[in-house]
């Protein structure tokens, strides 16, 4: 999540300060702040509430705006990974970082085809041909290409991630790696990663 920019955030709040923003702040930001110790225990007093703030409840948007203005939360990549680990440990991961093994139930459904984002166009062409569908729907260009340069750029985020956190993240997604034929880069789980 990007660093704080007051002008950008004020403009964004005018557009995003809606019930959806309210729910997203409760669902994503509050738990991530709690996981990383960024939400003070006395948050109710700090933002002037006459009741105890309970993170699991949905409040009026003004409550979240007060928290936002007080904390101006910024979650680093390492803090985000800690939060992903915490949600998996509590068996309550968000849908955005659930494993494919849990989301897709590969042992329950007999999938005939697996389409990867890295090879989406080629995979879809194969599936359409195998199903003898006459026309290819117009697809947006897939900008999520893999390759040495992109992979190297993506992996730079792990430069400041401890070996312990990398190992925990890998342990969570290990079955997905195995199911879809992904390999960790050499040295990823050993020592500092560059």
> Which pLDDT value is given to residue 15?
57
Which of 49-58, 85-94, 126-135 bottoms out in mean pLDDT, i.e. has the lowest?
Answer: 126-135
Average of per-residue pLDDT values in the chain: 82
Q: What is the mean pLDDT of residues 127-136?
A: 79
In this predicted structure, what is the pLDDT of residue 49?
Answer: 95
- Closest-CA residue to 35 (of 84, 69, 68): 84
pLDDT at 142: 46
> Per residue in 77-108, pLDDT tens?
999 999 999 999 999 898 889 998 888 887 78
pLDDT one-digit tens code per residue, 139-178: 544 454 555 566 677 788 888 899 999 999 999 999 999 9
Distance between CA atoms of 146 and 177, rounded to whole angstroms?
15
| pLDDT(1) > 50 | no
Rounded to whole angstroms, the Cα distance separating 22 from 53 reads 15
pLDDT value for 110:
85
């Amino acid at each position: 999540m990007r660093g704080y920019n007051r002008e950008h955030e004020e403009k964004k709040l005018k557009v995003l300060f809606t019930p959806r923003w309210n729910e997203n702040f409760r669902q994503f930001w509050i738990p991530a702040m709690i996981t990383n110790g960024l939400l003070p225990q006395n948050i109710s007093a700090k933002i002037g509430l006459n009741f105890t703030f309970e993170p699991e409840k949905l409040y009026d948007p003004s409550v979240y705006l007060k928290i936002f203005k007080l904390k101006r939360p910024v979650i680093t990549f390492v803090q985000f990974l800690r939060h992903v680990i915490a949600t998996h440990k509590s068996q309550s991961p968000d849908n955005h970082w659930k494993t494919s093994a849990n989301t897709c139930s590969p042992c329950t459904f007999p999938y005939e085809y697996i389409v990867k984002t890295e090879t989406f166009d080629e995979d879809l062409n194969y599936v359409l041909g195998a199903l003898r569908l006459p026309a290819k729907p117009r697809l947006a260009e897939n900008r999520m290409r893999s390759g040495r340069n992109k992979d190297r750029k993506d992996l730079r985020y792990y430069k400041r991630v401890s070996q312990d956190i990398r190992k925990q993240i890998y342990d969570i997604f290990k079955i997905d790696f195995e199911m879809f034929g992904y390999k960790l880069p050499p040295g990823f789980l050993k020592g500092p990663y560059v």
